[in-house]
Chains A and B, each alone.
Chain A
Amino acid sequence: MISDTPLPRVDWIATQRKWLGSDRSAAFATVLLLAIALPCLLAPVFAPYDPSAQPDIIGLRSIAPSLLHPFGTDQSSRDILSRVIYGGRLSLTVAIVATLVSVTIGTVYGAVAGFLDGVGGTLLQRILDALLSIPRLLLLIAIFAAWNNAPLPVFILALGLTGWYGLARLVRGQVLALKAQDFVQSARALGATRSRILTRHILPNVVSQVVVAATLGIGHVIVLEAGLSYLGIGVHPPDASWGNIIQEGSDQIAAHWWISFFPGIAIVLTVMAFNVIGDALLRALQPRKSVIE
């Protein structure tokens, strides 16, 4: 009959203890992420200056990192540290909200596509195949080339709406496998409706994969947002985001390296932290794999 191996149960506390306790890289990445994200999310408390203030456009113009301005200033005398902190708040917010949008859509779509039998499920899968064949970056560039100066919520929504296909496919595969399990059949035999089986018996068993995908997805969206802002679409000045600070410093990188350097480091460290945490979660949630390691 069907395999009698129970699926790994997700015990979040034990999982956390496991990877924080035994996985040094994950513990380090978590601390690093907190060290970056906390000041960003509490930007007004941590930033030493107003990120848009131009106190002395002649005297404080493009000065190298010093005690007063640890990350230096740009050509308009704005403090880079404050801009990186405020930019981080925006970049992280964009990434998290966009990922929430894509995870929600991807999970729902994948679950329905996997759960429906017959023509409905096949149709949804074919639509997904078609969407997966559109390159995300080119689509986004095309959208914002057509819609100049799109407001920020539209930008976030566009990132979210183009980022759910991979997760939908992952969830669909999981749901297909779970649907054939005996506990789903026994739930039917208890008289449970299809929506109840889906929400109560299938989705809870998919949660762990979704959390991993979301963690890795946030890192991906940070890079994407930075890339788009660098290209001048996405977050527009005077709003600071990591991408557009890099862009502002890019034409003078030889003379005033610090303008682009510090937001660049922030992106690298943040994305790396998200990826390490995502991988560690994946390992912790697949007990059989980690035994082998």
Chain B
Amino acid sequence: MSQPLLSVQNLSTFFHTEAGLARAVDGVSFDVNAGETLGIVGESGCGKSVTALSILRLIQQPGRIEAGSRIEFEGKDLVTLDDAAMRDIRGNRISMIFQEPMSALNPVFTVGDQVAEVARVHGKGSRRDAWNRAVEMLTLTGIPSPEERAKQYPHQLSGGMRQRVLIAMALMMTPALIIADEPTTALDVTIQAQILDLLKGLQTKLGTSILMITHDLGVIAETTSRVLVMYGGEIVEEADVQVLFASAHHPYTEGLMHAMPQITDSRERLNVIPGTVPPPTAWPSGCRFRDRCPYAWEKCEKEHPPLYQIDQGHTSRCHLAVEPDRRAHPHVPLVEQVGATL
């Protein structure tokens, strides 16, 4: 395969807080190829949003991208780029769609102004050109009567329309990569489906790569071709989307699949993964998932699992890769036992 569009190598973003060092993203590596949609899933606090913000260098104090991290994009290392060059990339070559369309728009300007601002920030063309392009982008995102809508303020638009405005902003400069950080969480399912269809359609039309960040496996199945599963600031499994849904290897991915509501399922309660993500200041020794894992044994406590190769293009950070027989003997995870005695 040719050179990847974005290559993240050993990305570590740590927050130096008073409560200690929070290793929010800890040695993450992945590639995004041109025209591809890569998904990142994981529950809250697993580091997926911090990964996205790190790529755009939007991490604020006390967070820091640690030395040794490399983010290669179009031949440049974004970690060491100076601020002016970074601004030139943001919104221009890489753009971002935020998850809350209510608060990602400035309430005192019309949406057309704000979409047009992208072009004006990047110094392309006149005010008139920028406005026309903004209207064109709003049309592309399927907003009805875009010319009138462009003159309205965010509070006059519905949540779905505001999300379309954010997508229009992201598309303004025809970026090579769009990072979509939970673009549909604030929307109801019908609008969600429309927005996802829209993103897919635009991607095939414009050939943009998308990094889709979500906690919703439905969104992953719908939009992506390859998936990273993150847990505890690390990638725990990487696979093509069909492979992941057909034969997930990592116990955490397995747990996520079981926790999905099934349309055929008649049980009343959903399956859950016991416990919560430990705070990033105190990852457990060995495997970070071990105290919530139904298969964990001594080795998981002593040895931090590497990413094992399971198959072509399928890796998993679990010792089960070398001792597959242990999967046959699940037990009650540690956290559930502790919870019962409390």
Contacts and interface: CB of A to CB of B under 8 A. Distances in A.
A2 B61 CA distance: 17
B48 to A, nearest CB: 14
A4 B58 contact: no
A15 to B, nearest CB: 13
Given A189-B58, A191-B90, A8 B103 contact: no
Given A191-B89, A191-B92, A205 B100 contact: no
Contacts of A193: 87, 121
B276 interface: no
Chain A contact residues (Cβ within 8 angstroms of B): what range? Answer: 20 to 34
B19 to A, nearest CB: 20
Interface stretch (A90-98, A179-187, A240-248): A179-187
A10 B103 CA distance: 16
Contacts of B89: 191
A67 interface: no
Contacts of B91: 189-192
Q: Is the interface of A mostly helix, strand, loop or mixed?
A: loop
B103 A189 contact: no
B96 interface: yes
A1 to B, nearest CB: 6
A7 interface: yes
Contacts of B136: none
Contact of B95 (A7, A9, A190): A190
Nearest to A189: B96
A2 B87 CA distance: 24
A192 B108 CA distance: 17
B98 A189 contact: yes
Interface in A7-50: 7-10
Contact of B103 (A118, A181, A191): A181
A133 B109 CA distance: 38
Contacts of B155: 6, 9
Interface centre among A3, A10, A187, A201, by most chain B C-beta atoms within 10 angstroms, is A187
Interface in A195-218: 196, 200-201, 204-205
Contacts of B194: none
A187 B109 CA distance: 13
A1 B100 contact: yes
B127 interface: no
Interface string A157-193: 0000000000000000000000001110111111111
B61 A4 contact: no
B169 interface: yes
B103 A2 contact: yes
A277 B117 CA distance: 35
A119 to B, nearest CB: 12
Interface in B79-129: 87-92, 95-96, 98-100, 102-109, 117-118, 121-122
A201 B106 contact: yes
Contacts of B99: 1
A196 B109 CA distance: 14
Contact of B58 (A5, A8, A117, A188): A188
A196 B122 CA distance: 12
B107 A6 contact: yes
Contacts of B104: 182-183, 185-186
Nearest to A179: B60
A195 to B, nearest CB: 12
A5 B122 CA distance: 29
B5 interface: no
Contacts of B233: none
Interface in B117-145: 117-118, 121-122
Given A9-B153, A204-B108, A204-B109, A183 B103 contact: yes
B90 A9 contact: no
Contacts of B107: 6-9, 183, 205
B102 A6 contact: yes
A38 B65 CA distance: 62
Contacts of A5: 102-103
A183 B100 CA distance: 9
Given A9-B153, A182-B100, A190-B95, A196 B121 contact: yes
A154 to B, nearest CB: 37
B102 A118 contact: no
B114 to A, nearest CB: 8
B302 to A, nearest CB: 38
Nearest to B182: A1
A182 B90 contact: no
B134 to A, nearest CB: 12
A191 B123 CA distance: 11
B185 to A, nearest CB: 10
B125 to A, nearest CB: 16
A4 B103 contact: yes
B108 A190 contact: no
B106 A205 contact: yes
A9 B108 contact: yes
Contact of A185 (B61, B98, B118): B98
B108 A205 contact: yes
B323 to A, nearest CB: 41
B154 interface: yes
A50 B155 CA distance: 56
B186 interface: yes
Closest CB pairs A-B (n = 3): A190-B91, A191-B90, A182-B103
11 contacts: A4-B100, A6-B102, A183-B104, A183-B106, A187-B117, A189-B98, A190-B90, A193-B87, A204-B106, A205-B106, A205-B108
Interface of A: 1-10, 117-118, 181-183, 185-193, 196, 200-201, 204-205
Given A191-B87, A192-B121, 7 more contacts: A1-B100, A6-B105, A182-B104, A190-B95, A196-B121, A204-B108, A205-B106
